[in-house]
Amino acid sequence: MGRVTVVVVCCAALAAGVAAAVVVCRRVKRGGKCGKANGIMKEFEEKCRTPAAKLKQVADAMTVEMHAGLASEGGSKLKMIISYVDNLPTGDEKGTYYALDLGGTNFRVLRVHLGGKGVGLINQEFAEVSIPPHLMTGTSDALFDYIAAELGKFVSQESEEFKLSPGRQRELGFTFSFPVMQTSINTGTLVRWTKGFSIDELVGRDVVEELSRAMAKQGLDMSVSALVNDTVGTLAGGRYTNKDVVAAVILGTGSNAAYVERAQAIPKWHGVPSKSGEMVINMEWGDFRSSHLSLSEYDNALDAESLNPGEQIFEKMISGMYLGEIVRRVLLRMAQEAAFFGDTVPPKLEVPFALRTPDMSAMHHDTSSDLKVVETKLKDILEISSTSLSMRKTIVELCNIVATRGARLAAAGILGVLKKMGRDAAKDGDKQKTVIAMDGGLYEHYAEYSKCLENTLEELLGEELFKNIVIEHSNDGSGIGAALLAASHSKYLQDE
């Protein structure tokens, strides 16, 4: 696996092995501060190592936690939430349905027109709005009123053809991508917030009730037929077009996974019959933790200063909200203790979350010989005006270390899920495809990350087995999936 794509680093040696590093450090003791900065990075790189043997331990730990979470409520950090989705879309769904996708930085409102058997998706329209940051930590009413108002705008702009027959309400699938303890397909209470949201009063309340109240206030005649999260929505959306989809992974602002479990293998479900004998499980894998993850001091500090300390440790190592922030923390240490940027520490570098993952990704992908993009990003974002080429190379290498660790750990998580589904080993003559629907801005836009994830999965599974595994990018599948689930759980189904 190409762990190091850009190897030339400050004073030319970080990745060149111990002997070279020693030589460099000696030279630097005489010549400047560069060696100390290299030492800081080397130590971090060492902590971040993820050899295959360690990743297999992570995967095994994931499988063990999955079993424990299915056995009893609270049996594991992994909540293994029963989604109440026991029938995935078949392709026969018909009619116009809506979806609302709230889960991170943006929310989307969608309308899909489903043609029924043999026809499929006729069209979809959507509007995307970014969530004003003050609503993420404000009041429940403020958040839901805002969402309902945007939904109201979307509906009011639609043409006559979408007018429903008298007495019929519009139906909505609500993708709410935070840990929710579901009590039915369209009820569930918020367990806790993640990804920078923090509205205490909503914890423990039914999110569908809150949305319904806000919609009524807006005069919107609409009902919520399905409450899902992005992983369950993506799985449903993926299955609609490919019957081999059995799991979904999200790598966006946060990270999570869902998969299809045998109902019998869910002891805490107490044998309640499921129509299909299956049940989609929302793992909430972001909260996974294991001693094999080997956290660095930077991860520990990031966690301690976060809105949710002690929680979502796996997510904080692999997802888009945090990768840039880890890079910033290492750079800050290099600036403070090794004067990496000169005698003063750039003030902007001290601001939490100042370096966002898309900017980190842009620097990591800089292919210009003089690393112009890195230079510009440092100038624009951190107000660091003069950097040498070797400094910029060091920064690219640091991005590579953080992205590589994240991608490799995410691959180990996927291996854990494949193991739980019994799809990690060859069975005689088995050519069964296992398709994982994947979505999220991190996976979609951070090419070095997604390439590394796929290479690592191949490294872990071996070439032969990997041939049967397909990672399918499902662009915005979570919204469509929620609309499909609203269709399959429509209250008017019996009437048709």
| Contacting residues toward ligand ADP, per CB under 6 A | 103-106, 252-253, 320-321, 357-358, 361, 440-442, 445-446
Q: Which does 294 bind (CB under 5 to 8 A by kind): Mg ion, ligand ADP, none?
A: none
Name the residue number minimizing CB distance to ligand ADP. Answer: 104
Q: Which does 445 bind (CB under 5 to 8 A by kind): Mg ion, ligand ADP, none?
A: ligand ADP
User: Of 18-26, 231-239, 247-255, 294-302, which segment contacts Mg ion by CB under 5 A?
Assistant: 247-255
Q: Which does 441 bind (CB under 5 to 8 A by kind): ligand ADP, Mg ion, none?
A: ligand ADP
Closer residue to Mg ion (CB): 99 or 330: 99
Closer residue to ligand ADP (CB): 416 or 441: 441
Could you tell me the smallest distance in angstroms from the CB atom of residue 402 to Mg ion?
Answer: 22
Could you tell me the smallest distance in angstroms from the CB atom of residue 359 to ligand ADP?
Answer: 8
HEC-encoded secondary structure of the chain: CCCCCCCCCHHHCHHHCHHHHHHHHHHHHHHCCHHHHHHHHHHHHHHCCCCHHHHHHHHHHHHHHHHHHHHCCCCCCCCCEECCCCCCCCCCCEEEEEEEEECCCEEEEEEEEEECCCCCEEEEEEEEEECCHHHHCCCHHHHHHHHHHHHHHHHHCCCHHHCCCCCCCEEEEEEECCCEEEEECCEEEECCCCCCCCCHHHCCCEHHHHHHHHHHHCCCCEEEEEEECHHHHHHHHHHHHCCCEEEEEEECCCEEEEEEEEHHHCHHHCCCCCCCCEEEEECCHHHCCCHHHCCCHHHHHHHHCCCCCCCCHHHHHHCHHHHHHHHHHHHHHHHHHHCCCCCCCCHHHHCCCCCCHHHHHHHHCCCCCCCHHHHHHHHHHHCCCCCCHHHHHHHHHHHHHHHHHHHHHHHHHHHHHHHHCCCCCCCCCCCCCEEEEEECHHHHHCHHHHHHHHHHHHHHHCHHHHCCEEEEECCCHHHHHHHHHHHHCCCCHHHC
Catalytic residues: 177, 192, 230
Closer residue to Mg ion (CB): 152 or 252: 252
Could you tell me the smallest distance in angstroms from the CB atom of residue 54 to Mg ion?
Answer: 29
Q: Which does 237 bind (CB under 5 to 8 A by kind): Mg ion, ligand ADP, none?
A: none
Could you tell me the smallest distance in angstroms from the CB atom of residue 250 to Mg ion?
Answer: 6
Within residues 65-104, the interface with Mg ion by CB under 5 A covers: 103
Within residues 100-119, the interface with Mg ion by CB under 5 A covers: 103
Could you tell me the smallest distance in angstroms from the CB atom of residue 471 to Mg ion?
Answer: 17
Closer residue to ligand ADP (CB): 178 or 341: 178
Q: Which does 358 bind (CB under 5 to 8 A by kind): Mg ion, ligand ADP, none?
A: ligand ADP
Closer residue to ligand ADP (CB): 252 or 346: 252
Could you tell me the smallest distance in angstroms from the CB atom of residue 448 to Mg ion?
Answer: 21
Closer residue to Mg ion (CB): 104 or 152: 104
Among 230, 303, 397, 424, binds Mg ion (CB under 5 A): 230
> Which residues of this chain interact with Mg ion, rule CB under 5 A?
103, 230, 252
